[in-house]
């Protein structure tokens, strides 16, 4: 098998795994209450904002110094 064939197989396998992961995520979300989903989303949003802020500060510091 050539490298191109391996890449095609790996891509197909990744897509197959992703479909199962999505299904699991949907099942988990269905099981959680709206309040718990909101709590999880809020926590994720705050973490993402904190990461963006830290990256912006690092970029600003690098540009100025």
Residue 1 has pLDDT above 60, yes or no: no
Task: Report pLDDT digits (tens) over 12-45.
Answer: 999 999 888 888 888 888 899 999 999 999 999 9
Q: How many domains does the chain have?
A: 1
Contact between residue 43 and residue 36 where contact means Cβ atoms under 8 Å apart: no
Cα–Cα distance between 65 and 45 in angstroms, integer? 30
Residue range of the domain that includes 45: 3-64
Return the higher-pLDDT residue of 64 and 2: 64
Encoded tokens for 34: 């709206």
């Amino acid at each position: 098998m050539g490298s191109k064939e391996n890449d095609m197989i790996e891509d197909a396998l990744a897509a197959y795994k992703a479909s199962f992961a999505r299904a699991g995520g949907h099942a988990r979300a269905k099981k959680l209450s709206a309040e718990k989903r909101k709590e999880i989303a809020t926590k994720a949003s705050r973490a993402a904002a904190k990461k963006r802020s830290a990256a912006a500060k690092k970029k600003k510091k690098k540009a100025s110094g």
